[in-house]
Amino acid sequence: MRGETYFILFLGIAVASHSALASKKLLKEQSPCKSFVLYYHDTLFNGTDAVNATSAMVANKTSLGDFNFGMLVVFDDPMTTDNHLLSPPVARAQGFYFYDKKNEYNAWFAYTLVFNSSEHKGTLNIMGADLMPEKTRDLSVVGGTGDFFMARGIVTLQTDTLQGDFYFRLKMDIKLYECY
């Protein structure tokens, strides 16, 4: 009888654990189960330099505003562990971005980080707004495969350099809060 009471009590607690998870700030205060920093290098095709280019424009900017509204770029960009373009890539970022604001630069990204090294095999799927005027901006890791099976988390972007119209580099701080 007393055992049953305990059982019910503790079952209640265990089932309630999701509500606990669902309550604010539990994970916010906890550190990621996995995190790493990578650099994203976007070298836009200028029409002639196919050897070095890793992205290309597939839809032109519209005439709405002066900040490339609607310009859509597809990329297969190298990811490196430091900020050197020519460092050996540890992953590829495959996806697209477009500009979407008429009165300032602002973008939106969806892409997959594809890992195929001795250290990691698998992918992370990411989407979100790149609020370019902000010093840092957060996107969502919405899923993963392989070594990153079912992962979720946050990617914090920071512009590392911007060189003319054809090269920019982002620091990506990848933090996973759900790992398996």
**Opening angle at CA 52, ends 111 and 163, nearest 5:** 75
Are 138 and 154 in contact by the 8 Å Cβ rule? The answer is yes
Rounded Cα distance, 29 and 112, in Å: 27
Q: Does 168 bind a second copy (CB under 8 A)?
A: no
Q: How far is the CB of 39 from a second copy (least distance, A)?
A: 19
Cβ 2 to a second copy, closest distance in Å? 10
Q: Of residues 42-101, which lie at the interface with a second copy (CB under 8 A)?
A: 45, 47, 50, 53-54, 56-60, 62-65, 69-72, 74-76, 94-96, 98-101
Type and span of the H or E element at 5: helix 2-15
Q: Which stretch binds a second copy (CB under 8 A): 18-26, 83-91, 157-165, 166-174?
A: 18-26
The C-alpha atoms of residue 41 and residue 142 are separated, in whole angstroms, by 22
Q: Toward a second copy, which CB reaches closer, 37 or 59?
A: 59
